[in-house]
Structure 1
Amino acid sequence: MGTITFILVLSFLVFFHELGHFLAARYFGVKVEKFSIGFGKAIYSKYWAGTTWQFAMIPLGGYVQMKGQDDSKPTLVETGNDSYNTKKPWQRIVILFAGPFANFILAAILYFTIALMGANTWAAQIGNVQENSPAFYAGLMANDEIIRINESEIKSWDEIGKIITTTQGTLQFFVKRDNQILVKTIAPQISDSQNIFNEKIQKRMIGIAPSGKVITLELTIPQALVYAYEKTIFASTMIFQGIQKLISGIIPSSEIGGVITIGKVISDASESSFIALLTITALISVNLGVLNLLPIPALDGGHIMFNLYEMITRKKPSEQVFMFLTIMGWIILGCLMILGIYNDINRIFLNG
């Protein structure tokens, strides 16, 4: 069942990505010869509306094959008003960007759906107060429920951290304890901490930790839209930063996961709950969008770079350079896939 869920989720994400390319290409009058979910030999295909729609044997990706643009033939040139080759560089960039953009839009839709169904989060309830901290001296205690900070109503634990780190000066905490509302004035202090990449940082803190109580947010449609936007931006930012940390060596290459890890995460989420599955699907969708924008020649980001070069210099890269960089791009991607699978297998044996 987990394998089937994995294939369905991945095919769903690939379909949206390629649909973005397809719609943008058709908007600019480019003929799309083939729309494929999967690679390799077709197991089902149907010709409709000028395009061959197919499912292929290897369900680990997909592609749209446009007239005048074929990644298996990087130097292909075809003429005609319906050819990718004859479109202006900015139009080609829009077509290329439309795929990753579709993944971001899909993630936002999924997060919006999660918000309406009832997103789970930590309650704004204190579990622990650090000794000799601003919260300790202000008299905050375990099980206190923070309901307001200054003029901002508090619904979840995340909101507490946002206000503390983004404001200046002292803060007024309105705390519910034994059915009474207490007002505490607290001056956050700059303290040592760690971010999600285990880097040492300094930030404003008051010395409290959550109780771990989980609540379900009840959001209106406007609030759900804000939730979806913030979650999509946060996920995109974290993935971009993660790639940067990986390149700089802060995150070891052993942390790279492959298709086995992705499959396990999707399978575990599907067994947990439908909302968990939607959350993982949204995160992977953002991941696909970000990764496809990397300036690697075999990816959308690499092709965008070629077109930006053409816009700036008023000439296309030479065929030799284009072919060499594209082949290098495929080699880089192949190495990353092999590394991911190698790490997956290592984890299986280590955990076994």
Structure 2
Amino acid sequence: MDIVIKLSQFLLSLSLLIILHELGHFIPAKLFKTRVEKFYLFFDVKYSLLKKKIGETEYGIGWLPLGGYVKISGMIDESMDKEQMALPPQPWEFRTKPAWQRLIIMLGGVTVNFILAFIIYIGMAFAYGDTYIANSDMKDGIWIENPVMLKAGFKTGDKIISIDGQKIENFDNDIPMNIIMSKEILIERNGKQLSVKIPTDVIDQLSKYEKSALILPRVPFVVAAIAEESPNKNLKAKDLFVSINGEKVKYFDQARTILEKNKNKTINVVVLRNFKETPITVKVSAKGKLGVQPGDLDLKTLEKLGYYKISTKEYSFAESIPVGLQKGKDKLVNYGRQLKMIFNPETKAYKQVGGFAAIYNIFPPTWSWETFWSITALLSIMLGVMNLLPIPALDGGHVMFLLYEIVSGKKPSDKFLENAQMVGFVLLITLLLFANGNDIYKAVIGK
């Protein structure tokens, strides 16, 4: 069932993005009376799953889910239709339209991608608002387990003050990514401010510890389940430890340290059970364990227990517009920074470039519309930026040649455009193989 839910979200998001991107080309093409021969979701190599011709356009669904396309008459694209291009130009063809019209047609797809992302972020601000912990309420600092972060100089209990000089107001989901892309973090430790440098190749280092979270808020030690072989059957699910061997305990990291000091001992503990303190005796194993699986508490329960104050902001429709636009802008800037890191060999970030499997794994195994729309908005930004890269065979490649034509007044020859399209196609296939090869390597061989 988890696979079905993840796959459903993946295909729905991908289909939505492809259809709207191609509509971005289709609509201006029709407005400028340019013939569109095909409009396809997914690629119809050799055959189609579904197809129907309406007017001059064949609409269909292909069997290869690697994207989609519109085939515009008189345009040198991935179809490489040399026979059509050898015929005399016709007034309904792309090649006979003014350069400014062709430019609008080619920019239509990425324009829709960016507009879609901003609309989603505005809608999410209106529908869900913002739920976060104010950084000022992280009074006991953060929880650090990741070896890379520990090596860089972070410690549990540190409080993040600023990232690359930008003050942190809220502790939210963007902080880990901002840390990865930063150079210097200002922290507070024991009342003193210290600077932590982030390694240039931090992404490559973190890839070796993908299951270890970058940073987390400190949480209490809560029992999720009791192992069958556990000697501590007197513990119950949802028990929360408040005292271990006479020492007050607030957080899981504190509890683990105390248990490490009491290996192979029978000790007294106090747990909060149904919001009442209950003393019990437990046996600590030779490894400093109790034979239980630690669990999580939702934000509302953490707030009720006095761990954090959860701040919530709700926005009217008018208020959600600037909030959504700002979020979209921040995501766009951050993705640009990520691409910069990928193209910088020193960061070794290129090793973590993923393909379709990586995108599939972003989606959670449970259905959440809020998460779905958040991921779809980010993917829309990524699709828009990637298509703007000045690579022949991508929208950005066509835009590059059109801008040259507009500025110089000279149109590149069809032969040149055909060769450039072929080079771009080979480059895209290489990138596709590299990205999906990374996915296969991680899945089969390991990190």
Select the residue among 343, 349, 352 that pairs with 2:444: 349
Paired position in structure 2 for 1:112: 122
Aligned to 2:210: none
In the TM superposition, residue 210 of structure 1 has moved relative to its aligned partner by: 7.1
Deviation of 1:3 after TM superposition, in Å, equals 2.1
1:86 corresponds to which residue? 96
Confirm whether residue 46 of structure 1 aligns to residue 52 of structure 2: yes
| Cα RMSD, aligned residues only | 3.1
Please name the residue that 1:261 is paired with: 358
> What is the SS of the residue equivalent to 1:316?
coil
User: 275-284 or 219-228: which moved more?
Assistant: 219-228
- The alpha-carbon distance between structure 1 residues 296 and 219, as it changes in their structure 2 partners (threshold 3 A), is same
1:1-352 superposed matches below 5 A: 1=4, 2-40=6-44, 41-71=47-77, 72-73=79-80, 77=85, 79-124=89-134, 125-128=136-139, 156-157=170-171, 194=198, 215-249=311-345, 250-266=347-363, 268=364, 271=366, 273-349=368-444
Partners of 1:332 and 1:305 in 2: how far apart?
Answer: 16
Summarize deviations over 1:273-306 as a string: whole Å, max 9, x none.
2101110011001100000000000100000011
Q: Percent identity?
A: 32
CA offset at residue 44 of structure 1?
Answer: 0.8
Q: Tell me the matched-pair count.
A: 292
| AA at the equivalent of 2:373 | L
Q: Provide the rounded CA distance (Å) in 1 between the counterparts of 2:380 and 2:121.
A: 11
Alpha-carbon contact 1:123-1:210 (below 8 Å) kept: no
- Call closer, same or farther: CA 1:114–1:87 in 2, change over 3 Å: same
Farther off after superposition, 100-109 or 117-126:
117-126
Q: Distance in 2 between matches of 1:288 and 1:307?
A: 21
Q: Deviations 1:61-110 (Å, cap 9, x if unpaired)?
A: 11111111251227653623321111111211111111001011111121
Whether the aligned pair in 2 keeps the contact of 1:258 and 1:344 (CA below 8 Å) is yes
Label 1:155 to 1:219 Cα distance change in 2 as closer, same or farther (>3 A): farther
Distance 2:30 2:194 in 1: 54
The alignment's TM-score, normalised by the length of structure 1, stands at 0.74
- Taking structure 1 as reference, are residues 222 and 348 closer, same or farther at Cα in structure 2, changes over 3 Å only? same
1:68 maps to a residue whose letter is: G
CA–CA distance in structure 2, aligned partners of residues 317 and 43 of structure 1: 37
Matched to 1:22, the amino acid is F
SS in structure 1 opposite 2:138?
strand
Contact conserved, 1:111 with 1:232, CA < 8 A, in 2? yes
Name the larger-Rg structure. 2
After superposition, the Cα gap between the structure-2 partners of 1:80 and 1:321, relative to the gap in structure 1 and judged at 3 Å, is closer
One-letter code aligned to 1:86: T
Task: Give the letter for the 2:26 counterpart.
Answer: F
Consecutive unaligned residues of structure 2, counting only runs of 5 or more, are: 142-156, 158-167, 176-192, 204-215, 219-298, 300-307
CA distance in structure 2 between the partners assigned to 1:251 and 1:335 by the alignment: 18
- 1:123–1:155 contact (8 Å) kept in structure 2: no
- Deviations, residues 182-211 of structure 1 (Å, cap 9, x unaligned): xxxxxxx99555599859xxxxxxxxx977
Change (3 A) 1:338 1:3: same
Q: Is the alpha carbon distance of 1:74 and 1:93 closer, same or farther for their aligned partners in structure 2, counting shifts above 3 Å?
A: farther
Distance 1:247 1:66, change over 3 A: same
| Aligned-pair CA distance for 1:272 | 5.4
Q: Secondary structure at the match of 1:19?
A: helix
State whether residues 201 and 349 of structure 2, in contact with CA within 8 Å, keep that contact through their aligned partners in structure 1.
Answer: no
12-21 or 79-88, which moves further after superposition?
Answer: 79-88
Contact 2:111/2:384 (<8 A) preserved: yes
Distance across 2 between alignment mates of 1:226 and 1:22: 30
Q: CA deviation at 1:43?
A: 1.1
CA 1:97–1:306 in 2, change beyond 3 Å: closer, same or farther? Answer: same
- Structure 2 CA distance for partners of 1:113 and 1:197, relative to 1, 3 Å: farther
Distance change (3 Å), C-alpha of 1:85 and 1:264: same
Post-superposition shift, 1:123?
Answer: 2.0
The amino acid of 2:355's aligned partner reads G
TM-score (norm 2): 0.59
Rounded to whole Å, the distance in 2 between the matches of 1:27 and 1:95 is 9
